[in-house]
Structure formats: C-alpha cells, structure tokens
Structure 1
Amino acid sequence: MTAQAQISQLPHKAWQAKGKRPSAWLVAPVLLLVGLSLLPLAYVSIRTAEAGWHDISRLLLRPYVYGLLLNTLTLLAGVTVACAVAGTLLAWLLERTNLQGRRTWGVILCLPFAVPSFVASFTWISLSAGFEGLGGAILVMSLSKYPLVFLPVAATLRGLDHSLEESARLLGASRRKLFFRVTLPLLWPAILAGSLLIALHMLVEFGALSILNVRTFTTAIYQQFELEFSNANAAMLSAVLLVLCLGFLWLELKVRGRARHVRTGQGVARRAPPMRLPPWAGLAAQVFCLTLAVLGSGVPLVMLGYWLVQGSSAAFPLAAIGQALLSSLGLSLAGAAVSLLLALPVGLLVVRYRGPLAIWAERLPYLLHALPGLVIALTLVYFALHYVPALYQTTALLIAAYALLFLPLAQGPVRTALTKAAPQLEEAARTLGASAFKAFCKVTLPIIFPALAAAFALVFLDTMKELTATLVLSPTGTTTLATEVWAHTSNMEFAAAAPFAALLILVSGLPVYLITTRMYLNKR
C-alpha cells in the first residue's frame, strides 16, 4: 500500500486541523457565500413583515391560496409516488432479473434526463391540448423525473451483498417476504432520497407547469411579480413555499432516522444471480420498458423532430439561434466557474476545520436548492435595487443567482474528493517554504482535479436548462436557449421553439449518454 493510500485511510477527525485557524483566502469566499445564502431568507422575512398581519391573513386565507396548495400537493404526491414505484420496479427488472436487453434498456430509459422538463411539456402540449391541466402535468412530469429514483435504486441493488438475502431464503422466507422484509428496507434510503429530490423539484417547478397551464405556488409567485408587480404578495407566497420545503426536509430526516444500512462484515459483497422470469412476466416487463421508453423520450423526440421539419419550410433565424446558444454557453460556463470557486473553500473548511461557520456554509446552499429560482431572483432584484442599483439588470447578478441555485451540485463531488486528499502532503510542501495557497495549488489541486471537472460539468448542464431566474434577471436583450423555448411555446409557436429545444437536448444529451453507456453497456 502506498503512503498516499495509507494517509487517505486516516479517520476523518484526524484530518481536521486542531487549534488552527483557516487562512484568510479560505474564509473570505465562505463568508461571502454565507451572506449571499442568507439573503433569500432575509428577503422573505422582510417583505412578509412589511405587509403586516392584516394583509398576510387577507392574502393567505383565501380560497385561491387553498387552491394553489391543493394543486401543489396533489401534483407533488402524484409525481413522487409514480416515480418511486416506476423507478424501483425498473431498477429491479434491470438489476435482478434475466430480462432480455436489460443493458440497452438501461441506456434508453435514462434518456428523459437529457430532455428538460419544459421541453418535454411543450412537445406533449403540441401533440394535444388535452394534456393541459393537473392530470397531464402528473403524467408528463412523472415521465421526466423517474430516473431520479431509478438510478440510485439501481446503484444500490448493484452493490447489495447477496448473502443477506440468501440467509433469509435459507430460513424459509418466500421471494415476496424476502423482498419486503430484507431487500426493500435496504433500498429505502435510495428510494427516499430520490423521492425527496422529486418532491422538491415539484415544489419549485415553473416552466413545465406554466406551459401545461397548471397553477401552483411557483407559477403564482411569477404572476404576482411579472403581471401584477407585487413583490410583497410574491414574498408572502414564497414564505408558504419555504415552509413546505422545510417541512419536507424535516420529514425526510425523521423517516430516515438513524438506521444503519451498511454491511459490517468482512470480505467482498456477493452479487445476486439474476432471477429467471416466466415467459408471461418477461413479456410484461418488455412491454413496461417499451412503454416508458416511448412515452418518456420517444414522444418528445418525435414531436420535436416533427416541428423541426415543419419549421424547415421557413428559414431558421440563424442569428437568433446563434446568439441564444452563445449566451447560454457563456452564462453557463461563468455560473459553473463561480459555483466551483465557492464550493472549493467551503469543502476545505468543512473537511479540515471545525466550527459553526463550516456548518452554516455547508447546509445553507442545500436549503436554497429547495427554493424556486424565482425566489432567489426576486431576492437579488430587491437587494440590488435598494442597496447596489448598479448591479440591477447585469450579468453579474444573474451569475450570482446561478451560483446560489446550483452550488450544492458542486459541493458533493468537491467534498468527497477533498476527504481523499491528505493534508499531510500540503504540510510537507509547507516545510519546504511554500505558502498555504501555493501548497494547495501545487499538491492538492492536481489530486482533486477530476472531481472538480465532474462538479463543473454538473453545474454547467443544469445552468444551461435554468429558466426562471434567467427570465427575471437577464439583462435587456439577453436570450438563452431556455428562455427562447419558453417564449415561443408561450405564444404557441412550436416550430419556432423547436431548434432552440433541439440544441438544448443536444448539449444535455451527450453527457447523459456517455454516463449511462459507461454504467450499463460496459458493466460486468
């Protein structure tokens, strides 16, 4: 075993600096992040308090708000349950049975990841206006989001030790009892994590629901700001949405509890042999996979191709398409870079130092990730107009919103990589006369560079598809692929929206295809 490997296995607490204070170059960006992260909470509190109890009760205790709450919770429950069931069943079929073509199905059934939800919504609504409304939204959003459950559950099944289930079988448990008493409890953390993520996405979804003509808190917040010019009403509705987000985060912690779901024995985990499906079950499974593939990615791609052909009779606005593409690429690259620059010092502070600043810096961005982009955008608009007017309608303000929205996507890979980069190597460089910053750049940065690249790619892809904050904060005359799709779709100009949507899918689809082919086509 190499020295680096031995060092990397030191307990986490042994890595943390004791009695040492972090350098100024590390603390400054973390303080900036904490300050920015507190702004949305401060904004919602200030604007709600300004309205007074009379206006708060007048706004919130209306049948309209009850209707928004009912729509939001119905949509959330319907999509979350559908995705949990479909994703778990699909993962079981592909990982634990002898289903024919399961590796190819694994790639095909992840393709909805490459289609932004508002693009999928526009293709379905262009197929038939009957998909408008709550029922259509549950269908379309479930087909877009089920990979968020399918992928983590499939990964968990792939890593489970078969000896646990084999022991239950030796004790006389039937296959059904084995699944519900042994396997399902082991899968529950992955199912719960994916379901929570879907639930939070449904709370903050705007573009797809606006296209499908479904009224939820997020669409109502946008209407209050954009159409009625009422920031106070938007803030009060945002407060309700924030309470719902906090409630779901608390519920997830309570349900998850402190249960351990790890293997504590020695040796290598054994893979389960594939279960042989009867002919009728194999046929039903093939029909299930085919149905998901056709509805999840087939219909959106076919309809998008149809509108591309329809629009070919008139010249595509190449200048507008090129400008939107360049703007999307530039803003996404800048947003990903800023997110990474903030995630790196936060990761270092959390991994190597203790204290309340590290805790707040790590957890606040995850809370903001559960807020809609509209709330973040309204927050930055409010504080820019009141305290730094020169920032209003600038690219810098939009990039700050991207960093707040997508920082958690970068935090995970960065922190994981830093736990494997031993600080003793930096200390050795310090003894040779290097400064703390130079030692980090020369020693640790090359070690964690692959994780930084992965984090950059994750943030870049999500920023390319971001819609709501871009609509509110983008400088006058700035367009992106996402805003062009939304603008044309809102005017029922499906052929005009098609080339922008196709470029979005192309940019998003390549990384998704590479990841899934590596996961399924190259496994075993």
Structure 2
Amino acid sequence: MTLARTERASDALPRSVRAPAVPGGRPPVWLVAVSVVCASAAAIPLVYLLVRTFDAGFAELVDTLLRARVLQLAVNSVLLAAAVTGTCLVLGTASAWVLTRVRIPAPRAMLLISALPLAVPSYLAAYGWLVWLPALDGFLASWLIMTAVCTPYVTLPVAAALRGASGDLEAVARTLDRGPWGAFRAATWPRVRPAAAAGALLVALYTLSDFGLVSMLRYQTLTWGINSAYGASFDRNQAALLALMLVVLALTVVAGEKRFRGQTGPGASRGRIPLISPGRWLGPTLALVLSAPLISVVVPVGGLTSRLLDAETLREIDGVRLAEAIGATLGLAVAGALAAVVLALPIAVLAARYRGRLVAAIEAVGFLGHALPGIVVGLALVFFALAVVPALYQTVVVLIFGYAVLFMPKAIGTMRSGIAAVPGNLVDVSRMLGLSPLQSWWRVTARLALPGIGVSALLVAISVMKELPATLLLRPTGTATLATELWSRTTVFEFGAAAPYAATLVLLAAVPAVVLSGFRGVAKEEL
C-alpha cells in the first residue's frame, strides 16, 4: 500500500525529476559503520596471510621464494595463465566479431551456444576428457581445456561492446580500402578494448586460481603446491607464503588490466554496418565460434553420458551417498548465498547512493575476494580459525563465511546496479509521507531492488555449488558435496563412480540459471 501511494505521489512530480537517484551527499554514519564491518570481513584472509608472512620472517620468505621447486610452480602458473589469457583474448574477440559482423545462420542461437562453457566447471570439463583419454595430462591439455572453458568471458562482453560501438568510423575505414579486420583494428578495437580487458582479467584470475583442472591433469601450479604444503606436511609457513605469492600474482594481473584497458573517447553516432557474407568461409567461421563449446561442453558431456549409460556404473551408484551429497550441496549453496547477500547489501547500498573516497575504498575492499583464489581463502581461514576461534575450526560456519568472502563481489555488483536503478524521487516522496529512512528503504527501495537481490543470490548459489578448493579445505569432517565427491573419485581414476555426481552437479547448476531468466523478467517489469 505504501509503495502504491508513493508511486502515485511521484507521478505528480515533473518528468525530469522522475529518474534514478544520483549518488551524492554524505552517507549516514550507521551505514558507513556497517559497511566497514562487512568489508573488513572480506579482508580477513589477506590480512591473516600478511601476518603469517611477517611471523615467518624475512629469511624464511627469501629461502622459500628461492627454492627451485617454488620457482617452477610460479613459472608454471604464470605460463598457463598467460597462454590461456592470450588465446582467449584472440579467440574470444574473433568469435565476437563473427557473431556481430558476419552473416551466419541463427546468430542468437550461436551466441547462446558460445556461452554454454560458462555452465561447466573446469574440473568437470577435465573429467569428461579423462573419460575418453585417461592418459591426458600436462601443460598442453590444461591449456586447451582451460581456454575452451574461459573463452566466453571474452566473447560475451566484446560482442556486447561491438553491438553498442559506433559503426560510422568502421564504415569510413572500409571506404579507405581497409579490409574488415583492418577497419576493425583501426576504428572499433580501441572502443571495445575495455570490454576485452575486463574479460581477459576474469580469464587470468580464473586460471591462476584453478585447482581442480590442473590437479586432474597433473600440471603442477601454485594452487597444487599450496594444497600439497598444507595437506602433506601441514607446513603453515610455506603454504601461507605460496598463497601470498599467488595473491601478489592476482593483484598484478588486476593492475595490468587497468593499463591495458586504456581510455576511450566518446562514441560517435551508431551507424549500422552491413554484415559480411562469409561465402566459402562459412564452415571455418562456424568452426571458430563452436570450437570452445565443442571442447568444453560436447566432449565432456559425451564422456559423462557414456559413463552414466554403462551398466556397471548404474549398478554401483550409491543412492544414499549421492542423496547426502545433493543435500549438502543445496544446503551450503543456500546458506552461502544468504551470507554473501547479507555482507554485500550494506556495501551495495553505500556504493549505489553515495560517492567519495571513503565509499570507493570500502567498495574496493569488498571486491577483494575477486582477486583471492578459493584455495587462498580456504587456507587463510583454516589458519585464522585455528589461531583466533579454534572452536569453529572445521565447522560449517567457517565454510559458509569462506563462501561469503569469495563471492561477495558477485553480490555487490548485481545489487548495486539494482539499487541504483530505483528512482530517487520515490524515496524522497516516501519520506514526505512520514516514513523513517529505514521504513523507506524496506517498503520502497528493497521491494523495487528485490529482483537484483534475487539475481545476486542465485549467482552466488551457482558459484557455491561449483566451488572446489575452498570446500576441500574448510568442510567439516564427513561433509561431502557433489564437487568434492567428483574430485575425490577422479583423482583415483574412478571415472565410472564419479559420473553420477558430475551429472547431478550439472543438473543442479542448471536450475538457478533457468530461474535467473524469470528474475530478469520481474526486474524489467518493476524497474
């Protein structure tokens, strides 16, 4: 009732006033305080790693860094991340160009197919390939499969940027005897480069943080070294130092992305560019776009299906254990999503409604989990729980908190956009009708921003279902999710026994994706 009255009252305002709120003013002290507390929670893993490093001392730090084995792990991590990022940047940009500039059959369906690898965790793709080729391992295998899994991170944002980029400059370049690619490089690439850089950043961070795929394919990187140092000898100092090294690499990648992104000028008028007819190159063009889905989805799903249809696999399915893994996965996904939303909501409100250095700093700390690999968060929280709250060690509380730290950036970004889109005049009118700031937030802003909050919760839930390294380190004894069951069986080459868990994980992760489309419809209707 209050929301309806507020909307009717706002209709009396001039059209120029009825617009989303423009951030500004001084934020309430209580909101800043709550946001600082939530952001501080996200900083605990990094702060504790720094404390462990200082405790170890400079001599041990240098000794660890100069070990040949550690240097090799670092080189392997950098080499794989660089190779995958470079390949994804080229392949993703080329695929986006084809999807937006070339006349191909069913372009919308092709765009959807090109996004399918995002639904498949890297370790699940590796499992599918190992079903067909059990001897597959090493750098080349890791590079091939990881590239296929990560290519959509570049394809989708670049395709969106190409659709919004001006076509006039590219058309002029074509009239100056430049070919399609030459015109693209000269006129369009500078304007879509930020989108490509953002996608490349996600690829690099995903590759650096990956643990499941490189472990299954026996390619030893820093994540493998961290797990070995923690699991084999429980060497806290070495594990912490390796984790800090991985964080430094991730932060270096973030800084490099900002330099590569560059600055773009204002766009020109959006002229339409005639689509290019591929002619005899239609086959190779489609092969380019479909290569990533084929490698990361079709082949793994084919291997998974072949194992599921095997009579011996069907006989050996442990229904009780599978049901327990499903229950644990769903329960942790719901709890992790709620925890991430609760921690992210004050920061999202602050960033959506206010500006300033303090607000920017709080938001940046909240996004810190974006650069912290799952294995680093897991390891840091293990050390933190043992040192500060030993009663919570190996409890579900620490595991859920780890999920919240890891996936808080997903929640902040989505909720911030939804809150910022709520018309500011509705909030002002609700205050004029006698509501307190908290009542105004609950009855007006929260209701209109609910679709965005729901989307953020679903995104986090999907991520929690697929998360592997943090779950392995933080889960309570006896707790097994679909991801951990899949990993534990593939590491001992029990591919048939792993098939039911892999198939169930794919099906469960697909459910929130379907629900997301419904939330988008609600969001469009209400906002």
Does the alignment reach a TM-score above 0.5? yes
What does residue 370 of structure 1 align with?
Answer: 371
Counterpart code for 1:260: T
Deviations 1:45-84 (A, max 9, x none): 1111111222112211011112112111110111111111
CA distance in 2, matches of 1:515, 1:173: 42
Matched, 1:195 2:200: yes
What does residue 350 of structure 1 align with?
Answer: 351
* 1:17 maps to which of 11, 25, 35: 25
Asked whether the 8 Å contact 2:21–2:421 carries over to 1, the reply is no
SS in 2 for 1:434: coil
What does residue 155 of structure 1 align with?
Answer: 160
Deviations 1:188-235 (A, max 9, x none): 111111111100111111111111111111111111111110111111
What does residue 65 of structure 1 align with?
Answer: 70
**Number of paired residues?**
509
Asked whether the 8 Å contact 2:454–2:519 carries over to 1, the reply is no
For residues 37-186 of structure 1, the aligned pairs below 5 Å read 37-186=42-191
Asked whether the 8 Å contact 1:201–1:370 carries over to 2, the reply is no
What does residue 403 of structure 1 align with?
Answer: 404
What does residue 263 of structure 1 align with?
Answer: 267
Matched, 1:214 2:239: no
CA distance in 2, matches of 1:503, 1:147: 23
CA distance in 2, matches of 1:108, 1:517: 20
CA distance in 2, matches of 1:100, 1:334: 43
SS in 2 for 1:129: coil
User: Alpha carbons of 1:426 and 1:512: their partners in 2 closer, same or farther (altered >3 Å)?
Assistant: closer
Asked whether the 8 Å contact 1:209–1:219 carries over to 2, the reply is yes
What does residue 303 of structure 1 align with?
Answer: 303
User: Alpha carbons of 1:134 and 1:5: their partners in 2 closer, same or farther (altered >3 Å)?
Assistant: farther
CA distance in 2, matches of 1:159, 1:278: 26
CA distance in 2, matches of 1:282, 1:169: 21
For residues 325-474 of structure 1, the aligned pairs below 5 Å read 325-474=326-475
CA distance in 1, matches of 2:173, 2:426: 47
Counterpart code for 1:239: L
CA distance in 1, matches of 2:92, 2:465: 26
Deviations 1:236-278 (A, max 9, x none): 1112112111211111112223x1254265xxx3432211112
Deviation at 1:10? 6.5
Counterpart code for 1:36: A
CA distance in 2, matches of 1:5, 1:271: 31
TM-score by length of 1: 0.91
Counterpart code for 1:22: P
Counterpart code for 2:219: V
Deviation at 1:313? 4.2
CA distance in 2, matches of 1:4, 1:77: 53
User: Alpha carbons of 1:453 and 1:513: their partners in 2 closer, same or farther (altered >3 Å)?
Assistant: closer
Counterpart code for 1:17: G
Return 175-184 or 505-514, whichever deviates more.
505-514
User: Alpha carbons of 1:517 and 1:95: their partners in 2 closer, same or farther (altered >3 Å)?
Assistant: farther
SS in 1 for 2:479: coil
Deviation at 1:390? 2.1
Return 348-357 or 455-464, whichever deviates more.
348-357
Counterpart code for 1:298: V
Taking only aligned residues, the RMSD between alpha carbons, in angstroms, comes to 2.4
CA distance in 1, matches of 2:356, 2:182: 46
Asked whether the 8 Å contact 1:347–1:414 carries over to 2, the reply is yes
Counterpart code for 2:120: V
Deviations 1:285-341 (A, max 9, x none): 133345444323111010001111224441411111111111111111111112112
For residues 503-514 of structure 1, the aligned pairs below 5 Å read 503-510=504-511
Return 3-12 or 340-349, whichever deviates more.
3-12
Counterpart code for 2:97: W
CA distance in 1, matches of 2:473, 2:393: 11
User: Alpha carbons of 1:342 and 1:271: their partners in 2 closer, same or farther (altered >3 Å)?
Assistant: farther
Asked whether the 8 Å contact 1:130–1:136 carries over to 2, the reply is no
| Long gaps (5+) in structure 2 | 1-9, 521-527
User: Alpha carbons of 1:140 and 1:29: their partners in 2 closer, same or farther (altered >3 Å)?
Assistant: same
CA distance in 2, matches of 1:432, 1:514: 36
Asked whether the 8 Å contact 2:350–2:359 carries over to 1, the reply is yes
Counterpart code for 2:264: R
Deviation at 1:104? 2.7
Deviations 1:83-126 (A, max 9, x none): 11111111111211112233332222322112111111111122
Deviation at 1:422? 3.4
Asked whether the 8 Å contact 1:69–1:217 carries over to 2, the reply is yes
Asked whether the 8 Å contact 2:399–2:475 carries over to 1, the reply is yes
User: Alpha carbons of 1:325 and 1:357: their partners in 2 closer, same or farther (altered >3 Å)?
Assistant: farther
Deviation at 1:516? 9.7
User: Alpha carbons of 1:350 and 1:176: their partners in 2 closer, same or farther (altered >3 Å)?
Assistant: closer
| Long gaps (5+) in structure 1 | 520-524
What does residue 7 of structure 2 align with?
Answer: none
SS in 2 for 1:109: helix
User: Alpha carbons of 1:495 and 1:8: their partners in 2 closer, same or farther (altered >3 Å)?
Assistant: farther
Return 92-101 or 476-485, whichever deviates more.
92-101
Asked whether the 8 Å contact 2:339–2:404 carries over to 1, the reply is yes
User: Alpha carbons of 1:292 and 1:170: their partners in 2 closer, same or farther (altered >3 Å)?
Assistant: same
What does residue 523 of structure 2 align with?
Answer: none
Deviation at 1:282? 1.2
What does residue 522 of structure 1 align with?
Answer: none
User: Alpha carbons of 1:425 and 1:4: their partners in 2 closer, same or farther (altered >3 Å)?
Assistant: farther
User: Alpha carbons of 1:500 and 1:406: their partners in 2 closer, same or farther (altered >3 Å)?
Assistant: same
Identity %: 36
CA distance in 2, matches of 1:400, 1:354: 28
Asked whether the 8 Å contact 2:53–2:240 carries over to 1, the reply is yes
Deviation at 1:425? 2.4
Asked whether the 8 Å contact 1:339–1:410 carries over to 2, the reply is yes
Deviation at 1:377? 1.6
CA distance in 1, matches of 2:386, 2:227: 18
Matched, 1:492 2:496: no
